[in-house]
Amino acid sequence: MNSVEIRNLNLGFITEEGFRQALFDVTLKLKPGQMHAIVGESGCGKTMTAMSIIKLLPKNAVIKSGEIIFENKNLLELQEQELRKIRGARIALIPQDPMTSLNPLFTIGDQITETVLAHTNLSKQEAINKAINFLDLVKIPEAEKKMQLYPHELSGGMKQRVIIATALALNAGVIIADEPTTALDVTIQAQIMSLLEEIKNEFNTSILIITHDLNLIGQYADEVSVMYAGSIVENAQNLEFFNNTLHPYSKALLKALPDKSTGHLYTIKGAPPSIYENISGCRFNPRCEKCLKDKCTAAAPRLTEAAPLHYVSCFNY
């Protein structure tokens, strides 16, 4: 069961000014064999949503309510010891910077092998063979030789492949990829995304990808969730999203993509609110060109099915 369902997740932070909410009733489902993208501006809650799944949260974070269902268990109710058996083994993380997951003091072969040994009953030689097989699978040339290298001897793209190989070696059914192509050149970005797509199709893996790159999403994602100020404001299948964008914020994001023919760059007026700002009604209303003053500032719209399997949180629809 390579699926994760987040239901009405509400999360915030304990600050000097008291509790400040950061996620508002976030609901989404990762399906087996699909890549689900969460897009939005920096600070909108994308990474907090993803990290909530494996409960790798700041110390001052508090989950007020909600459920995260995986293999018929609510992950939010599990003790740390139970979570450790799932985290990394069944649900794997590909971080923005692979160096945060790779120990510079050990070879990549040692690191993958030790990780496999920690989560399986394989012998050391079996773990080594498995590590080589999966390094080969993620298209690292001369995999057996590369086992002897240290992280600093690999390029950024190769480090990402090592992280992906580790996830596969542990039979992770769900992969969380947090900006996996950050700081990589365009060619390597395409290679990493193509690799994730192959893994998704071959192993029926669920992939949650956090990104702000709508061009990548248009090419690779199966489903898109747009997040603004801690809320999902639109959710749809890829083609439906790009062909029939509904939410004013989603439209503004697409409009803000660079126009190569004219060089014109559209910008969304204003800035996303911080968790310290109290905004009544729809949290996008201060920046929205379609704002209905009497309605949009009075209450927050709910995520509603405006078209088949196309959900939007906006009074205009």
Confidence band for 119, pLDDT divided at 50, 70 and 90: confident
Residue boundaries of the structural domains of the chain: 4-90+172-312, 104-171
pLDDT on residue 316: 87
* The pLDDT of residue 15: 93
Distance CA 156, CA 138 (A): 14
Tell me: pLDDT of 180 over 90: no
Q: Quote the pLDDT of residue 281.
A: 93
Residue 264: the pLDDT is 76
What does the DSSP 8-state code read for residue 87? B
Q: Which two tokens stand for residue 119?
A: 């989560």
The residue to which tokens 């369902």 are assigned: 5
CA 236 – CA 168 distance, rounded (Å) = 28
Residue range 244-299, pLDDT digits in tens = 999 999 999 999 887 777 767 788 888 889 999 989 999 999 999 889 888 999 99
Question: Would strands 35-39 and 223-228 be described as parallel, antiparallel, or unpaired?
Answer: parallel
**Selection from 112, 203, 115 nearest residue 162 by Cα:** 112
pLDDT at position 88, please?
79
Q: Which of 232, 317, 310, 307 is nearest to 27 (CA)?
A: 232
Per-residue pLDDT band at 191 (split at 50, 70, 90): confident
Q: Chain-wide mean pLDDT for the chain?
A: 91
Mean pLDDT value of segment 111-121? 89
Least confident of 38-47, 180-189, 305-314: 180-189
pLDDT of residue 167: 85
Query: Do residues 176 and 94 touch, judged by C-beta distance below 8 A?
Result: yes
Share of the chain above pLDDT 70, in %: 99
Say which residue, 55 or 267, is predicted with more confidence.
55
Asked if pLDDT for residue 23 goes beyond 90, the answer is yes
Domain 4-90+172-312: what homologous superfamily? P-loop containing nucleotide triphosphate hydrolases (3.40.50.300)
Contact in structure between 208 and 175 (CB atoms under 8 Å)? yes
